[in-house]
Amino acid sequence: MNEVTEILLKAKEKISKPENWCQRSVARDPEGCRVSARDPNASSWCSIGAVLSSTKGIVSNTIHAKLREIFSFVLDQSAIYRGYSIPAFNDHPEVTHDDVMTFFDLAIEKSKEIQYA
C-alpha cells in the first residue's frame, strides 16, 4: 500500500464517528475548544485536520502534491462542490458526516490508482 493511501485510511478512521468530525476548526478538544490537529487533547478533526494528524510530521512535497491532486479530482467530480477547497467543502453548512465519509472513500480509491515516482 502506498503512503498516500495509508494517510487517507488513517484520516478516515480518525473521523469515522460523527462525534470525531468537526467543522470550522482543524481540531477540537472534548470541550469543543479549538486545538491544533496534532494536539494530544484533540478529540475531533475536520477533513484536513484528520489528514494532518495522520502524518508523521512534515510530508514530502511529492506526497503533499498527490494529496492535493486526489482531493481536487474528487471534488471536481461533484456538480455541487466543484472548485471548492477541502476546508470550504468540509465547512459548508450542508455537508454532513456521511458526505465527508463518501469523500474519503472516493479519495482512497483514487489514491490506489496513482503512480508514485
Per-residue pLDDT tens over the stretch 5-38: 999 999 999 999 999 999 999 999 999 999 999 9
Domain borders along the chain are 3-113
Which grid cell is 64? 503533499
Distance CA(113)–CA(94), nearest Å, equals: 30
The CA angle 44-8-40, to the nearest 5 degrees, is 35
Distances in whole angstroms, Cα of residue 31 to Cα of each of 27, 35, 36: 11, 11, 14
- Tell me the pTM: 0.92
